[in-house]
Amino acid sequence: MNVVIPTEEKQMQHIKEKVRSGERLSHEDGVFLYRSDDLLTIGQMANEANLRKNGRKVYFIENMSLYFTNVCEAHCAFCNFRKDEGAEGAYTLSGPEMIEYVEQHFHPGVREFHIVGGHNNHVPFQYYVDSLKALHERYPDVTLKAYTAAEIDFFSRISGLSYSEVLQELMKAGLKSLTGGGAEILSDEYRRKMKVNKADVSQYLDVHRTAHNLGLRTHTTMLYGSVEKHEDRIHHMMQIRELQDETNGFLVFIPLSMQPISPKASIRRRNSAFEDLKTIAISRLMLDNFQHIKAYFINIGTQLTQVSLTMGASDVHGTIVKERISHAAGALTPEGITRDDLIWLVKGAGRIPVERDTFYNEVKVYE
């Protein structure tokens, strides 16, 4: 009697063999995984891939999120953080004002300032340079991970400088790494639909390419869960993967789960836990040339973050102190978390917490 193996089962088996042998997954493989409901098998493969790269170590950092301004010329459909100049709640802090804010929340364990904000065209490029300089002079030992690729493109436009010149000015002021935001979905069609009127796909990639060529290691993201198709997500990952092949300049990939505009939005307006875990696992499988995939607890919650550590994630971000952008868009999670809670969360998944710096150098291993 002939046993007929369903095509889906055959394809999953073929992907398993590719993962085991370290063979790169194709666009077709990625789309198949998204369409499969076999989350456990996908998670097991991602776990296997992650354990090969990182063992049982899971990384975190003591960091603070800072936002110099929420005034923004862009009107992206998914953003509830931005304000128009002069609108209620709009602000633009000077360097001394930002230092005053930091003084209120700072403690000696903080290793990184994570700095992003609006594209405020009411101030010159020098404002953004001076803001970094003020922080760097006051806190020389804290790494400045600042601005998105979209912000760098914006600075280039308002200053008339090239990407390379903008980045070099910022590096002189203390910049050590770029944040990953501004990627959203790397598809021109998506960007038209979602009114992403800032850096386009090629500009986003070119800013990171330029940064890598200047010696900066950077971060990169994918904001998923709105109008994009599974094919768009996989294409996004493959474009990032190609750039990593070229430069090896990315430190980590961060899938960001789209948040609804209102915290009161129903469960149906949010990504499912199933989709969040699947995206983390598929990211690990597709991005074979990335050392780390981050589970961002701000968007998916602490408990789902814990589960993701057995499904391909090797980083749980950091303490943050007070996150604003996802919370302006309806996140229900804590705005920050303590070091002890992060350690507890990682140990609860049977993993080894490792405090790191911005560049994944180990500061302390909590065996």
Tell me if 229 sits within 8 A of 267, measured CB to CB.
no
Q: What is the DSSP letter of 73?
A: S
Tell me if 216 sits within 8 A of 264, measured CB to CB.
no
For residues 306 and 44, what is the distance between their CA atoms, to the nearest angstrom? 15
pLDDT for the residue numbered 30: 98
Q: What is the CATH number of the domain that holds 331?
A: 3.20.20.70
Domain presence at residue 11? no
Question: 79 among the known binding-site residues?
Answer: yes
Domain presence at residue 19? no
Please state, in angstroms and as integers, the Cα–Cα distance from residue 223 to each residue in 62, 247, 337, following that order: 24, 23, 22
Domain presence at residue 140? yes
Domain presence at residue 17? no
pLDDT for the residue numbered 261: 64
Domain presence at residue 186? yes
Domain presence at residue 14? no
pLDDT for the residue numbered 332: 52
Q: What are phi and psi of 107, to 5 degrees?
A: -140, 160
Give the structural domain span for 157: 28-365
Question: 305 among the known binding-site residues?
Answer: no
Domain presence at residue 244? yes
pLDDT for the residue numbered 239: 98
Tally the domains of the chain: 1
Tens of pLDDT along the chain (367 residues)?
Answer: 555 456 899 999 999 999 999 999 999 999 999 999 999 999 999 999 999 999 999 999 999 889 999 999 988 888 888 899 989 999 999 888 999 999 998 888 899 999 999 999 999 999 999 999 999 999 999 999 999 999 999 999 999 999 999 999 999 999 999 999 999 999 999 999 998 889 999 999 999 999 999 999 999 999 999 999 999 999 999 999 999 999 999 999 999 998 776 666 666 778 999 999 999 999 999 999 999 999 998 889 899 999 999 999 999 988 765 544 455 545 554 556 888 888 999 999 999 999 999 999 999 999 8
For residues 344 and 333, what is the distance between their CA atoms, to the nearest angstrom? 17
CB atoms within 10 A of CB 95: 18
Domain presence at residue 107? yes
Give the position of tokens 């993701």. 308
pLDDT for the residue numbered 328: 54
Question: 76 among the known binding-site residues?
Answer: yes
Give the chain's end-to-end CA distance (angstroms, integer).
54
The model carries a pTM of 0.92
pLDDT for the residue numbered 243: 98
